[in-house]
């Protein structure tokens, strides 16, 4: 389903499919250290998917093997605890979700429901993982950036709480 997004059609942008996917992958920080030839191969294996309002991209508890880059539209991140569903926030174009799923099957901790028509670049581990492994520096570059993002995320979380509330139960992702 490598069709153009609504904005691309309105603006007369005919760059679709491979070229657009490659351009998007080059903009994603997560792939910034992946060699260009690997990105080209990945661009052939990714696809743009459209989701309609109220549709779920994935549900809490699902196991899957895909990461998503939000190209256009918006969606809501939801978490269900004790039977009640809570909104975590609205996500918009330019964000990547599910990078850990490119390494292993990961159970989704949230649901992602579409608010406005959503176009995502779907990055399927079953298709791109071998490209990262088989290219010189591909997997190392990807892992280096992913680890940096995890450590930064934990630093932000730790900065938001006092040291008295820090315990081994609620900190330490970067210690693993």
62 domain residue, yes or no: yes
13-17, 78-82, 116-120: lowest mean pLDDT where? Answer: 13-17
pLDDT confidence of residue 171? 55
Q: Which residue has the higher pLDDT, 157 or 86?
A: 86
Q: What is the mean pLDDT of residues 13-39?
A: 84
Ranking 21-35, 46-60, 66-80 by mean pLDDT, the lowest is: 21-35
Q: Which domain holds residue 36?
A: 6-175
Classify residue 123: in a domain, yes or no: yes
pLDDT at residue 43, rounded to an integer:
93
pLDDT at 2: 38
Total domains, the chain: 1
Evaluate whether residue 1 is within a structural domain. Answer: no
24 assigned to some structural domain: yes
The per-residue pLDDT for 38 is 84
pTM of this structure:
0.75
CATH code for the domain of 51: 2.60.120.10
Is 160 inside a domain boundary? yes
Q: How far apart are CA 10 and CA 87, in angstroms?
A: 32
Instruction: List all residues 6 or more positions away from 13 whose beta carbon is below 8 Å from its beta carbon.
Output: 4, 7
Q: 107-120 as b/e, with b when 16 or more CB fall inside 10 Å?
A: ebebbbbbeeebbb
Distance (Å, rounded) from C-alpha 76 to C-alpha 108?
Answer: 14
* Between 122 and 2, the higher pLDDT residue: 122
Band (pLDDT 50/70/90 cuts) for residue 12 is: very low
pLDDT digits (tens, 9 = 90+) for 95-131: 988 888 887 788 888 999 999 999 999 999 888 877 7
């Amino acid at each position: 389903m490598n069709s153009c997004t609504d904005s691309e059609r309105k603006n007369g942008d005919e760059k679709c499919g491979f070229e657009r996917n490659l351009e998007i992958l080059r903009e994603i920080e997560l792939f910034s250290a992946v060699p260009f030839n690997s990105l080209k191969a990945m661009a052939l294996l990714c696809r743009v998917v459209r989701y309609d309002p109220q549709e779920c991209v994935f549900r809490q508890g699902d196991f899957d093997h895909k990461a998503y880059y939000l190209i256009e539209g918006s969606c809501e991140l939801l978490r269900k605890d004790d039977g009640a569903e809570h909104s975590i926030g609205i996500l918009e174009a330019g964000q990547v979700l599910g990078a850990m799923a490119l390494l292993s099957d990961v159970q989704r901790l949230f649901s992602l429901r579409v608010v406005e028509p959503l176009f995502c670049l779907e990055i399927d581990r079953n298709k791109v993982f071998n490209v990262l492994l088989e290219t010189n520096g591909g997997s190392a570059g990807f892992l280096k950036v992913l680890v940096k993002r995890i450590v930064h995320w934990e630093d932000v979380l730790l900065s938001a709480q006092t040291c008295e509330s820090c315990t081994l139960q609620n900190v330490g992702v970067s210690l693993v």
